[in-house]
Amino acid sequence: MSAASRISLSLGNTSQLTGDYLILEEDAASAELIDQIHAVGKRAAVWTVNTEDSMERFVNWPVDAVITDYVDDWQRVAEERRHEDPLVSLARQPSRLTCGMGRR
């Protein structure tokens, strides 16, 4: 399905959601939205993170869960990141100019 044919969802006030998790399609996930979700005490999950590019993107994000069909690939990317130089890893994280201070 092309991005143009997908239906967008307006979240409104995330603090009024009754669930504990908000699950975002990867195209809808942004650092700002994840920070908003965390700010009201909710958890954020991203799906379906199946490509190498998506895994590289979200492994550094402050998401609480990732849904993927390729768990072994996700674990490999996460393990590689754990052994990476901390300064390189920091440079990959979403900019704090567009992303709040995260969970407290």
> Would you report the helix, strand and coil content of the chain in percent, each value rounded to 5?
40, 10, 50
- Please list, in sequence order, all residues whose beta carbon lies within 8 angstroms of the beta carbon of residue 77, skipping any fewer than 6 positions away: 52, 55, 56, 59
List, in order, residues 6 or more apart from 101 with CB less than 8 Å away: 35
Task: Rank 14-28, 56-70, 76-90 by mean pLDDT and report only the highest.
Answer: 56-70
Assign 84 a pLDDT band (cuts: 50, 70, 90): confident
| Segment holding 24, helix H or strand E | strand 21-25
Collapsing DSSP to helix, strand or coil, 18 comes out as: coil
Give the C-alpha separation, 82 to 64, whole Å: 17
- pLDDT band for position 98 (50/70/90)? very low
Asked if 68 and 75 touch (Cβ cutoff 8 Å), the reply is no
5 vs 26 pLDDT, higher one: 26
Residues whose CB is less than 8 angstroms from the CB of residue 19 and which lie 6 or more positions away in sequence, other chains included: 42
Give the pLDDT confidence of 27-58 residue by residue, as tens digits. Answer: 999 999 999 999 999 999 999 999 999 999 99
